[in-house]
Amino acid sequence: MAEGAAGRALRRPAAQRAGAKAAPAGRARPRRGRPPLRVVRPARKPGRDPMAVARRSLALLLIPSAVLTLLGIVEVLSASSVSAYEQLGSSFFFFNRQVLYAGVGVVALVLCSRMPHRAWQRLSVPLLAVSVLLMLLALHPTSGISAYGASRWIVIGPITLQPSELTKLALIAFTATILVRKWNHLDEPAHLAIPLAPAVAIVAGIVILQRDLGTTIILAGSVFMVLFAAGVRLRYLTVTGLMGLGAAGALIFGESYRRDRLIAALHPFQDPLGAGYQQIQGYIALGSGGWWGVGLGASRQKWQYVPNAHTDFIFAILGEELGFVGEIVTLSMFVLLIYAGIRIAINAPDTFGRLLAAGITSWIGLQAIVNVGAVTGLVPITGVPLPFVSFGGSALVVSLAAVGVLASIARAGSSARVKGRGEVRT
């Protein structure tokens, strides 16, 4: 046995034998160079056509995005027709605007898909600075407007902007840029935290001042997922996550209306005409739909029963009109879109592209989970819209632009493999 072990040791390459001697027993070697990405590229199969892979990824990305956008236009017309006629004299007011927003969003998608994805690395800092400035303007009473106690919007002529939607894309691009620049220092939390932690804290603080905890959660969660995809050590992520949960708990219990929303999510029937009213009406809408729904446009709950029927709670009206089957189809579109985003991140041509794709995918997926969770009572109501479906120009345009960024990364990944470029480039 001893001779066999000695023979196997001698047959190992000299570099391995020297490394084995250099590593003290029980002590892990320090990581040298770049840490491994958690979003990695699988071994390429022989004969695998890179262009075919890109086409499949683009189809998986664009088809669900188109279906959700068209479904949103139809449901906005149905869910808003009663309130729009009562308040504005036209049942088509919100529908017409959503069609316009979708058209602008498609143009943004095409432009972003044609723009090299690495341009976002150069634009990330100025884009984040502009979005922060716009959010500060939204807080000012002379330039911003408030609704439901939140100051999130800016009115420029006939256009209403929500700067925090642009901030989602800007913060993700900024985070990916910082991680690429500090790639050899991901094991040094103090080095990594500057300037990422102050930037995230400033953005989150402004959004909290806007009384928008839901968007704060989306922003923080997206940054967290980019850090996870980059391969930051789990113990650092665990500490960061616990600190974030503690901050969220303090914010929830520090404001009475947030406490009421939490109690309403847990026990909505304790206050059926107050804090639990919207939740209960959402339940009634979802339950009324059954398997196949009451029919498109035939919702009864949209007749001023469900508050925000065409925005935050459009999924409830969708479930009432299209039933459980329609809900599953809608959720399946989100699953396909997230799967496409993961595929694109895996096959991205460089580290920045992988982190940017991972961040965008996390943002869309997390926002969909939070919205559907609020409508179904799994999480407190946060005012977060359902991506591509809820009414809202800023949200729809920026979401479609983000899809265009994913498409650009997919095209760049296929081109890099066709030209035989390196495995990972930063």
The pLDDT of residue 140: 76
The pLDDT of residue 6: 43
Mean pLDDT of the chain: 85
Cross-strand bridge partners of residue 145: 153
Q: Which of 340, 362, 334 is nearest to 409 (CA)?
A: 340
The pLDDT of residue 81: 93
CA 379 vs CA 220, 274, 281, 355: distances in Å: 17, 18, 16, 28
Among the residues of 115-156, which ranges form H helices? 119-139
For the whole prediction, is pTM greater than 0.75?
yes
Give CA–CA dist 30/181, Å, rounded: 20
Q: What is the DSSP letter of 143?
A: T
Tokens, residue 101? 């927003």
The pLDDT of residue 217: 94
Is the pLDDT reported for residue 199 higher than 90? yes
Average pLDDT over residues 257-263: 87
Is the pLDDT reported for residue 417 higher than 70? no
Q: Where are the domains of the chain?
A: 47-235+335-418
- Find all residues with CB under 8 Å of 256, minimum gap 6, and list them: none
Average pLDDT over residues 351-376: 96
Q: Would you list the DSSP string of 14-83?
A: HHHHHHHHHSPTT-PPPP-SSPPPSS-PPPPPTT--HHHHHHHHHHHHHHHHHHHHHHHHHHHHHHHHHH
Phi and psi at residue 70, to the nearest 5°:
-65, -40
Give CA–CA dist 377/373, Å, rounded: 6
In the numeric block, the tokens 């965008």 are attached to 360
The pLDDT of residue 419: 63
Neighbours of 202 (CB within 10 A): 14
Give CA–CA dist 85/94, Å, rounded: 10
- Find all residues with CB under 8 Å of 245, minimum gap 6, and list them: none
Residue with the bigger pLDDT between 367 and 183: it is: 367
**Taking CA 343 as the corner, what is the angle to CA 235 and CA 62, rounded to the nearest 5 degrees?**
130
The pLDDT of residue 154: 86
Neighbours of 385 (CB within 10 A): 29
Q: Which of 225, 177, 168 is nearest to 342 (CA)?
A: 225
Give CA–CA dist 107/22, Å, rounded: 58
Whether omega before 380 lies within 30 degrees of 0, making that bond cis, reads no
Give CA–CA dist 28/24, Å, rounded: 8
Cross-strand bridge partners of residue 147: 150
Residue 169, helix vs strand vs coil: helix
> What burial letters (b/e) apply to 131-166, b meaning 16+ CB within 10 Å?
bbebbeebeeeeebeeeeebbbbbeeeeebbbbbbb
Give 9-53 pLDDT, tens digit per residue.
444 444 444 444 444 444 434 444 455 566 655 545 555 677 787
Give 266-321 pLDDT, tens digit per residue.
899 988 888 899 999 999 999 999 999 999 999 999 998 999 899 999 999 999 99
Give CA–CA dist 317/293, Å, rounded: 10
Percent of the chain with pLDDT over 90: 63
Give 364-406 pLDDT, tens digit per residue.
999 999 999 999 999 998 889 999 999 999 999 999 999 999 9
The pLDDT of residue 12: 45
The pLDDT of residue 246: 93
